[in-house]
A and B are shown apart, each in its own frame.
Chain A
């Protein structure tokens, strides 16, 4: 466990993280791991965070060492899409039992790795540590090392017992596993001046594919996406990229920063959500590549693609703007999406009356302030009850959030649109913006909202002083 706590400690000393750097030395050492209040509602654990960060590596087997609970609930829960192998969606677990806990689960784990390799021949095996085997002292790093040697396959330990901390910490620990065991372990067959990494993009609902054609058109190659629609070998060779884009900054900042330190790959933080952000992302990718020696004409070509795509997107959004103008939106989501979605919605004529910033960095918050001026309220940490109260009072027209707050919205009679991981529409890129606007339009025009806000007709009658008998 000491190596794990040292790892966690080092993660909190993150020069790439503004929050972390803003703290005095003493506090910085204590780290950012927020202690949970026992008895209060809590989100996912470190294991969950690591699983969602790495599972999009599609040709690997993801083997969860633990009792059935951990894999049982996380099996295929994310909608991260693959353009090829589907092995990542098969559920592998040791499903340890009482016997393992008494006698130790290492042999069980080794056999499981061996079986996965023999039966599925994966590109690699990611082994996830969970609370129970961590507590009984199963040394997964040793088992993985032995298995890798004997079986001749990469077997990567991902040491993320749930008790180590939050989901966000798990994202980072997953990044560490990649940095320690995967990135830089293979060499690409060829490199070009146009090779980039995209870090922290998970290809949920196939969003990466809405962006990739534009990069293809510009001749920019995604050497590795970490980890959406990724292949193991791409990640292993990603250290030869010329530049990187960091998509979800809170999740994998350590990966981008350390790759810059180790391999000199410059990165920028950007978003594919919203027309302006999408254009900025393309611009910055090209600029970084040119800075690193790609021919300067790339910049001109990029501007041409941006101009064409923006015009096309605007043209397709225009018919909606009339219907959506002035509609008021409440936004509840974490991290980078809070500002990138704000910009996107404003483009569609919507008014943002509030946005949550729970997982946002100070940088994120600054950008939101810039975007929404003074009109909006930013909410740092909103308990469901307060959220409910606010929804009832705020008289917004729609709330955009993740699945966890869906029911708070619906019970508060608020139209709701899913913009988090479990949604089924891709909102990235120019194409995605059109899809988002069309989905908002659809959600707003559903007749159920009128129905849900109207009292039962017999109560109506009582309000008007008629038909007293209808109410019990």
Chain B
């Protein structure tokens, strides 16, 4: 029986009824000229073979299921970390709609960003008018304190000059002359979202430190003993930055977070809509030039930004998304060294608790094999933690990781007996990962939501750590940094391991003799 107005069935159930399964089967055999079922099965099996893997890895032009996003996404992320800042993407509006939905699906929060909505005319004659009108409209509509401009491919292909356009727009009184409008060229055909983050943050820092595009005097650095902190493009930014602030406050460190997204993506449900919330104040962004040093949690997110900061005389230290005991030790020791502040007993206690938790549960993770993919820094941080737990990473893949990332990962793996037999795959995609998982199976896969297709195909249980996570909610509210963050990652991994054991023992009267209460 098909749909019935009395009891309408939703998509989860509808096509499972006999009338649909029959109809679809008939349609297939009568009108779709299908290959025989055995042939279909044979080819399906063949895609799991070593032979297919070889062909898969010989792919040159086609990318299948990439695990990376584009530069402007990163630029929007960076812009949203500043007080009352409107990300303005010069280019086509469709791209910007993607960024907003992408972030909103991950953070479960509205994400504000506008576009200059370039059309065909703009593509032919240049997008200057779109910039002039766009800045004027967004300023009067959304009352930002700063508009951070980045670009989509469209504007980059025709070569729009942001510096000139913004000057022009200000001359046309599109926005007040003294409005802060930093900019960054962020073509999606170069790099990935981590590059875009880097470019946009660099644009903002240069804007404030280097004379606001020639409209103000450059700032003179007068070291004030403070510390700058950059989190980078991070799906856990809400939990992570709050954790970092807590740790710094415990240590008594004076700091500036450059790009603080923790509030804008976690506004309270109290009846008030906050288009902007929190963020690094523009004053702090400018004064950050006086800091003694800058710490970046994600080297590959901040390569150019750190160059600029170092060029202004600060010491810069870059980490690779540190997770776990040793990585957090190194972070805190650097903070301590740079600021002269000791690590208090309260934090040492947290460290002890993480170690204790690992000891309690290590038997379940120790010796398990993992595949891992994601952004370059995140994969390095997680791989380090896995080694610390005695887990054995087998495949580490990063679509937006390059040669330098590969070398770093190999050094990391060589430093541990648990890293033997692990291979590193820069520039590869999730279809490559599929072949890897079929030909060299592992116990668990760590990756973002897109890994669920790999989980479905290869039956490798997916542990969701990364960005984006669309199909599980609120994990971004919990840190993965600090000892507390290490504990969260540990628990995330353990939960999956235990769920997996339960799932393999829960068929009544078949295998549930091992469906135990105590694990």
Contacts and interface: CB of A to CB of B under 8 A. Distances in A.
Interface of A: 75-77, 79, 81-83, 86, 206, 406, 410-411, 417, 422, 424, 439, 442-443, 445-449, 451-452, 456-459, 461, 467, 469-472
Contacts of A451: 325-326, 355, 358, 388
Given A76-B516, A447-B418, A452-B355, A472 B343 contact: yes
Interface stretch (B8-16, B22-30, B44-52, B329-337): B329-337
A333 B366 CA distance: 24
Contacts of A75: 517
Contact of B389 (A79, A448, A456): A448
Given A447-B388, A447-B389, A456-B329, A472 B359 contact: no
Contacts of B508: 86
Given A446-B366, A451-B355, A470 B342 contact: yes
B351 interface: yes
A410 B356 contact: yes
27 contacts: A75-B517, A76-B517, A86-B508, A86-B512, A206-B513, A417-B363, A422-B518, A442-B367, A443-B363, A443-B366, A445-B366, A446-B363, A446-B390, A447-B388, A448-B390, A449-B359, A451-B325, A451-B358, A452-B359, A456-B343, A456-B348, A458-B333, A458-B336, A470-B342, A470-B343, A471-B342, A472-B342
Contacts of A83: 513
A448 B336 contact: no
B458 to A, nearest CB: 25
Nearest to B391: A447
A472 B390 contact: no
Listed residue (B330, B336, B519) with the most chain A CB atoms within 10 angstroms of its CB: B336
Contacts of A76: 516-517
A73 to B, nearest CB: 11
Contacts of A457: 329-330, 333
Contact of B340 (A411, A424, A469): A469
B87 to A, nearest CB: 40
A83 B516 CA distance: 14
The 6 A-B pairs at the shortest CB distance, nearest first, are namely: A472-B342, A472-B344, A76-B517, A446-B390, A448-B362, A446-B366
Listed residue (A439, A448, A458, A471) with the most chain B CB atoms within 10 angstroms of its CB: A448
A287 B363 CA distance: 41
B356 A81 contact: no
Interface string B481-519: 000000000000000000000000000110011101111
Contacts of A456: 329, 343, 348, 351
B360 interface: yes
B423 to A, nearest CB: 21
Nearest to B508: A86
B500 to A, nearest CB: 14
B518 to A, nearest CB: 5
Contacts of A439: 363
A155 to B, nearest CB: 25
B62 interface: no
Contacts of B356: 410-411, 452
B519 A424 contact: yes
Nearest to A78: B518
Nearest to B343: A458
Contacts of B345: 472
Nearest to B332: A458
B309 interface: no
Contact of A410 (B360, B366, B389, B514): B360
Given A469-B340, A471-B342, A472-B343, A447 B509 contact: no
B513 A448 contact: no
B475 to A, nearest CB: 24
A459 B512 CA distance: 49
A294 to B, nearest CB: 32
Nearest to A462: B342
A79 B518 contact: yes
B163 interface: no
B416 interface: yes
A86 B518 contact: no
B387 interface: yes
Contact of B509 (A86, A448, A467, A472): A86
Nearest to B388: A447
Contacts of B516: 76, 79, 424
B355 A448 contact: yes
Contacts of B348: 456, 458-459, 472
Interface string B380-418: 000000011110000000000000000000000000101
Given A79-B518, A447-B416, A471-B342, A86 B333 contact: no
Contacts of A79: 516, 518
A422 B341 CA distance: 46
Contacts of B517: 75-77
Contacts of B337: 467, 469
Contacts of A447: 387-390, 416, 418
A410 B353 CA distance: 12
A81 B325 CA distance: 38
A459 B343 CA distance: 10
A83 B418 CA distance: 37
Contact of B366 (A86, A406, A442): A442
A471 B337 CA distance: 11
Given A406-B360, A452-B359, A458-B336, 11 more contacts: A77-B518, A442-B366, A446-B362, A448-B358, A451-B326, A452-B355, A457-B330, A457-B333, A469-B340, A470-B333, A471-B342
Contacts of B333: 457-458, 461, 470
Contacts of A459: 348
B273 to A, nearest CB: 43
Contacts of B344: 472
Contacts of A469: 336-337, 340-342
B336 A470 contact: yes
Contacts of B390: 445-448
Listed residue (B325, B387, B513) with the most chain A CB atoms within 10 angstroms of its CB: B513
Contact of A81 (B362, B363, B514, B518): B514
A442 B391 CA distance: 11
Contacts of A458: 329, 332-333, 336, 342-343, 348
Contacts of A446: 362-363, 366, 390
Contacts of B513: 81-83, 86, 206
A442 B348 CA distance: 28
A59 to B, nearest CB: 13
Contacts of A442: 363, 366-367
Contacts of B514: 81, 206
A472 B366 CA distance: 34
Nearest to A417: B363
A457 B330 CA distance: 8
Nearest to B324: A451
Nearest to A411: B356
A34 B478 CA distance: 50
A51 B360 CA distance: 28
Contacts of B341: 469
A448 B366 CA distance: 9
A422 B363 CA distance: 14
Nearest to B250: A472
A79 B518 CA distance: 8
B228 to A, nearest CB: 20
A173 B321 CA distance: 59
Listed residue (A75, A406, A447, A471) with the most chain B CB atoms within 10 angstroms of its CB: A447
A457 B327 CA distance: 11
A448 B418 CA distance: 12
Contacts of A77: 517-518
A403 B249 CA distance: 39
A62 B519 CA distance: 23
A83 B509 CA distance: 9
A255 B179 CA distance: 91
Contacts of B329: 456-458
A448 B518 contact: no
Nearest to B418: A447
